[in-house]
Structure 1
Amino acid sequence: MLFDINITEQFPSMNLELSLYTKQFEDEKNMKKVQNLIEAGLHPERYEFSTSQLGKGNTTNTLFLLNITNTKFPNELPISYVLKSYKDYTVNIEPSTLFNLVKNKFPNAPKIYGSIKVNDKETIGIIESVPNIENFGDIFWNELNILINDVFKDIDLDYSYINERSNVSKIIKEYCGESIKVSSEIGDYIKNLHKSLILPDQNEFSLESVDSSIYLKNYTNKLNSMISKLQGQMTQQPESAFFNLPKISSILIDIKATIERFRSEYEKPKIEIQPVHQDLHLEQILYDKIENQYNFYFIDFEGDPMLSLDEKKEKFPVEKDLASLLRALSYIKFNTLLKFIENRIIRKDKYEVPEEILYNLFFRRGVRPKNKVLDDILNVLNTWESKLIGKILKNLNMSNILITYFYIQRALHELTYELLYRPNKIIVPVLGLKEIVEKN
């Protein structure tokens, strides 16, 4: 479609428009990539094209790797691009965000070389193919699961010695060295990302200071509205439904009180807001590694998927991005525990559900699993999570209250999603909210 010169004649009603960006690039490498696209568009007969799908079809948008080879130089490596077909036919904020990052010469996000508009809506982005091994979350998931499966091989043994803090730290350091290393480094990359998302001379991308009391009051109302909506959705389901258990329902009540207390405890008169990523979970960070040096790339700047387009165009405290990252750690923690329960605890001769065993571990002391190994594993997982959070936040001047606000919002969004599409999985965001209540 990109290089068929008859496309607009065949489909005139589509009003197809290919825009390529050249003025933003000063370096020879990226200028060459844009020029290559222009020449291939003007003279497609001189080039060979190949495409392959990325993400194995499990990504929110459809992604293709496009390789373009100049037939005059068949021995040269093809120039590669990512074609990103956005799932929603609507105005998208990603192209302009990536364009701003290029203006600020931010090296840790894919460059955008152009876009295809259909009826004046960006439908396909033409984006740099960045070198990467896998996503950031894979490091945490792989190391943590190896740790749990190696250390807790026999579920009938006594692992109480592990509960000593020095022993837990030693085990985590031994098995999760890469996780600790990248957690120590990612904070500076996030800080630079937030700086590079600001364009001081453009009002919609500038840094602002707003009255904290008004901002937090409005956000408190927004969170309370989300909670009320969730409570309404739950009560419309059968009383026997898992999520209608009183101890789960009470968490939403407790969260309202927690939010109000945080609002009253915030002391600074102003809150700074700016453009942020909005959806910075662990799969939105790719990494490459050369020898022992990591490099990270932030991807998918489409905004928070739970927000409307107008809301996505708003500015937020940078703490919103950190909250997304920390919620992803919580998901890894509890899903690691669920996987262990499924593989090692569930009795094959009985009908048992991992989520119910996890619920019992936290909420039903009378029917808690007899095997103490889950308590020991949970202690390791909590220490692992705390250690990585400390590393990530170490060099960032963040407000814990604001992080918690957006952490709660993220967990409520997750709970809404799970309630609609995967009701048996609501235990993970519920436990995230429960931990917030208990910690505060």
Structure 2
Amino acid sequence: VVLKLVRRLVSGIHPEAEISRYLTRIGYANTAPLYGEVVRIDPAGVPHTLCILQGFIDNQGDAWNWALDYLRRTVDELALAVDADDAAPDPEKEAQAIEGYQEMAAIIGKRLGELHVALVAPTDDPAFSPEPATPEDVRAWIDGTQTMLATALDLLAQRVEQLTDDTKELAQSLLDRRAALTEAVANLVSADAGALRTRIHGDFHLGQVLVAQGDVFLIDFEGEPARSLEERRQKSSPMRDVAGLLRSFSYASAAAQSTTESAPQQTADRKRALFDRFRGYAAESFLDAYRTAVALATQPLVAPSAEQALLDLFLIEKAAYEIRYEAANRPTWLGLPVRGLAALASRLLGDTGTPHEPEPADSSAATPPNPAEGDYE
């Protein structure tokens, strides 16, 4: 078992215990089962979770570190083999290496899809009953993204002269097209998107996935620690979780690229191209497996015609959030979310020459995406 001690006590129902209890009850297998919770009820009748007891998952570490290790080891082997042989890359070896990364991405996509299927199933529990997203809900999602985007662009405007040349050019292109991008986001998702509001993971990235015996388990349903418990318990679109994982693949690729820092230029360029291909194929496999899994849901999570637009909305929100986070905590990493946001902007605005993700960042410290402190000791 694992005993999680809550180090920052807050008033209200804790989403980690609430969601874990629900998933345990309905039999979702790929998470830690809930065994118990210690709660203090104050004189006003308000609960305060003190600790949570869950089943221990025998694992080989989280998917973030698995991805870093796999990418660094595999890309080094592929790139150095070319240098040693002074020949063209072996397409078969590269395909096999990429397939191994794709397989893990697909497993994560399948398990996330199964989680969303479980959370969209009809239930008498109002906290978990899926609801159609109203036009007001869709507008709230758009407004939230607009607010995050405005904050990110304001930060870039303040710091643009401090950025490296490549990042500065991309940041300036975003600032120059601020009005067009804002308008595109405002009109990105139609009010009748056919979307559902359900409970979701809320803070999904590779660090929230445990790798275990060729499978994965999804953990830590506390939501983003910076938000209130009420916000973390709100229903939202499952596409928000999908966007979080896609952005996490980009972070893993960039963090792994620290192996290019001391390599000769030709080898470094070759490695960067490999990292980019690994990320692209992983994202594709993740999405394919996810869509296959959610096709079994009792009702569509979003109308097929609106899925990409809604996913783009949350990808923009996530990239903008990352800019805000990196500006405050790791300024040398700003190039990664700036490039991600620039790529999204170029696609939405119909530009040619869309930049490819990911751009190598100063990745001397490989820390997980969204590394805000959690609730637990």
**2:95 matched to which residue of 1?**
173
The structure 2 residue matched to 1:261, chosen from 167, 180, 184, is: 184
- Tell me the amino acid that sits aligned with residue 59 of structure 2: N
Q: Give the TM-score, by structure 1 length.
A: 0.65
Do the aligned partners of 2:146 and 2:186 also contact (CA within 8 Å) in 1? Answer: no
C-alpha distance in 1 between matches for 2:201 and 2:127: 14
**1:271 matched to which residue of 2?**
195
C-alpha distance in 1 between matches for 2:345 and 2:274: 21
The structure 1 residue matched to 2:126, chosen from 177, 182, 203, is: 203
C-alpha distance in 2 between matches for 1:158 and 1:434: 38
Q: CA deviation at 1:320?
A: 0.9
Tell me, which stretches of 5 or more residues in structure 1 are unaligned? 1-80, 346-370
SS for the counterpart of 1:100 is helix
Q: Give the TM-score, by structure 2 length.
A: 0.75
C-alpha distance in 1 between matches for 2:72 and 2:262: 12
**2:70 matched to which residue of 1?**
143
For the structure 1 residues 157 and 415, does the alpha-carbon distance in structure 2 shift closer, same or farther, using more than 3 Å as the test? farther
Tell me, which stretches of 5 or more residues in structure 2 are unaligned? 292-303, 349-377
- Tell me the amino acid that sits aligned with residue 261 of structure 2: E
After superposition, where does 1:389-400 map in structure 2 within 5 Å? 389-397=283-291, 399-400=307-308
C-alpha distance in 2 between matches for 1:306 and 1:159: 51
C-alpha distance in 1 between matches for 2:261 and 2:244: 27
User: Once the two structures are superposed, what CA deviation does each residue of 1:266-309 show, in whole Å capped at 9, x if it has no partner?
Assistant: 465421110000111111111211xxxx2321110001234332
Q: CA deviation at 1:415?
A: 1.5
**2:220 matched to which residue of 1?**
300
**2:242 matched to which residue of 1?**
322
**2:313 matched to which residue of 1?**
405
C-alpha distance in 2 between matches for 1:108 and 1:159: 45
C-alpha distance in 2 between matches for 1:310 and 1:133: 33
- Tell me the amino acid that sits aligned with residue 241 of structure 1: Q
- Percent pairwise identity: 20
After superposition, where does 1:28-427 map in structure 2 within 5 Å? 81-90=1-10, 91=12, 92-118=14-40, 119=42, 120-153=47-80, 161-162=88-89, 170-198=92-120, 200-211=123-134, 213-235=135-157, 240-242=161-163, 245=168, 247-251=170-174, 254=177, 257-258=180-181, 260-261=183-184, 264=187, 266=189, 269-289=193-213, 294-337=214-257, 339-344=258-263, 371-397=265-291, 399-427=307-335
C-alpha distance in 2 between matches for 1:262 and 1:88: 36
User: Once the two structures are superposed, what CA deviation does each residue of 1:92-141 show, in whole Å capped at 9, x if it has no partner?
Assistant: 21111111101111111111111223453102111111121211233322
* Structure number with bigger Rg: 1
Do the aligned partners of 2:205 and 2:245 also contact (CA within 8 Å) in 1? Answer: yes
**1:68 matched to which residue of 2?**
none
User: Once the two structures are superposed, what CA deviation does each residue of 1:293-329 show, in whole Å capped at 9, x if it has no partner?
Assistant: x232111000123433222121111111111111110
- The count of aligned residue pairs is 323
For the structure 1 residues 269 and 390, does the alpha-carbon distance in structure 2 shift closer, same or farther, using more than 3 Å as the test? closer
- Structure with greater strand share of residues: 1
Pairwise CA RMSD: 3.0
C-alpha distance in 2 between matches for 1:302 and 1:256: 35
Q: CA deviation at 1:148?
A: 2.1
For the structure 1 residues 307 and 252, does the alpha-carbon distance in structure 2 shift closer, same or farther, using more than 3 Å as the test? farther
Q: CA deviation at 1:436?
A: 1.8
For the structure 1 residues 174 and 277, does the alpha-carbon distance in structure 2 shift closer, same or farther, using more than 3 Å as the test? same
C-alpha distance in 2 between matches for 1:89 and 1:124: 10
